[in-house]
Amino acid sequence: MEFRVCSVLSLFIIFFLISPRARSEDSGSVFFIDGTGHQFLRERSPDHEVEKPSLLLQEVGAAVSILLGFSPSSSLSAAGSSKLDEILVPNPFKRPRAVLLLEVNGIDDRQIAQYNEMFSNAFRSTHILGSDKVDIQFRDEDDVSVLLLDEPSKDCTEKEISAFASMMGGSYASNTQEPLNGVLTIPLANGAMVNLHMSKKSEREYVVALLSLVRNVERAIQMHDDLSQSTRNPAELLMGCFSGIKALQEQDGAESIVQDGVELLLVTLTKILGSLQEAYKGQIVGVIYSHSRTTQELSKTLDFVFSSHNAARLLAEDKALNVSLAEVVFVRRTLAWVTGLILLISTLIGICYLLNMPLTRDTLLYSNVKLD
């Protein structure tokens, strides 16, 4: 009896130790959405849905670097290069130099592909391995312009909510007695309607996060217009992390509202990508990385960093010499006079030798034309 109990406990301990590792290895899916009219990604094979190749987070970051027109990290393995070759067009002169990199927390891969046609037709890679944070490295701040899409926003106005509702084909019924406590109604792709009550904390946080994302994308489009009129031509990275689904998951009985929130987010992302494609004239690729974990379990996994320049090596005194300024001036003047005298004496000796040189053919000056 004791042996059976010990065996069961041992198996339970082994399973407990292994299961977190297994969960950390599979950390979501990534969707590559090509530009309109410009093929920056390879055509998908008919077996793509069956293959569903796995990628490392480092390889996702390397793909973003390549799309921006930069060389990937030197730590990229040969196997990783082969995987990226199956996704990206090999022509180095055909890069969009603009990428929308958005990390979405709390969404399962099946939820995205099931409810949205654009994502279901995108180049999808499941089983993203690795849970450690990955930094996309850039050499110079002048080479790439980075705009963060997850800048915090305290709140929103009813005017912004109404404008967002109109953009999505919905409506906003404001509360005349209590401002910002109305009901936002948005139609979904399947014909259903989702009602978000601003009076509920979780739904309000979700709407604020969604409006912040839209607002930051509009700011990115304005920045792109400014850069297109300037002499600079940097690559553009629009980068952010959306965590609004986490707020809905904390609500009691949140299954239905979370599903509606996921569908509304996907419809909003479709609108956002359409606006970006129009503003960038198709010269932009969307990279959406989704995973079911929340920010409470894991912070933002994809970030960027600028590598510092190699500072010029300058000669400097290791230790200060205990000498006066007059002594330093005396030594320098002495070296200058001695060097000048040596050059003067050498010049005079050279002139004397030239003046007294015999004028015969059998000299070094005429050795090349010596006949006998």
Domain boundaries, the chain: 25-151+229-306
Contacts of 165 (CB under 8 A, 6+ apart): 171, 172, 184, 185, 186
- How far is 266 from 116, CA to CA, in rounded Å? 7
Q: What is the pLDDT of residue 238?
A: 94
The position carrying tokens 């200058």 is 336
Q: At what angle do helices 201-228 and 255-279 cross, to 10 degrees?
A: 10
Report the candidate in 76, 218, 60, 88 with the shortest Cα–Cα distance to residue 151. Answer: 218
- Residue 237, number of CB atoms within 10 A of its CB: 24
Q: What is the pLDDT of residue 309?
A: 52
Q: What is the pLDDT of residue 364?
A: 54
The position carrying tokens 């069956």 is 50
Helix (H) or strand (E) holding 221: helix 201-228
What residue type is assigned to position 47 of the chain? D
- How far is 36 from 278, CA to CA, in rounded Å? 9
Report the candidate in 267, 285, 310 with the shortest Cα–Cα distance to residue 63. Answer: 285
Facing residues of 195 across strands? 185
Identify the three-state secondary structure at position 213: helix
Token output for 372: 């006998």
Facing residues of 145 across strands? 236
**DSSP assignment of 278-314:** HHTTT--EEEEEEES--TTT----EEEEEPPP-PPP-
CA atoms within 13 A on the CB side of 150: 15
Facing residues of 242 across strands? 104
**pLDDT tens track, the chain, 372 positions:** 554 545 544 444 444 344 444 444 456 788 899 888 778 988 876 555 545 668 888 899 999 999 999 988 888 888 888 888 888 988 888 899 999 999 988 776 666 656 567 777 788 877 676 657 888 888 878 889 999 988 766 668 888 899 999 999 999 998 877 778 889 999 887 778 888 988 888 888 899 999 999 999 999 999 999 888 888 789 999 999 998 888 888 765 567 788 888 889 988 999 999 999 999 999 999 999 988 765 444 567 888 888 765 444 545 555 555 667 788 888 899 999 999 999 999 999 988 887 776 655 555 555 555 454
- Residue 148, number of CB atoms within 10 A of its CB: 14
Identify the three-state secondary structure at position 5: helix
User: 270: phi > 0 → left, psi -120 to 50 → alpha, else beta; which?
Assistant: alpha
- How far is 113 from 287, CA to CA, in rounded Å? 14
Report the candidate in 241, 180, 194, 191 with the shortest Cα–Cα distance to residue 216. Answer: 241
Are 104 and 288 a contacting pair, CB within 8 Å? yes
Q: In the 8-state DSSP scheme, what is residue 198?
A: T
What is the bridge-based pairing of β-strands 29-33 and 285-291? antiparallel
For the whole model, what pTM was predicted? 0.72
Token output for 292: 């079911």
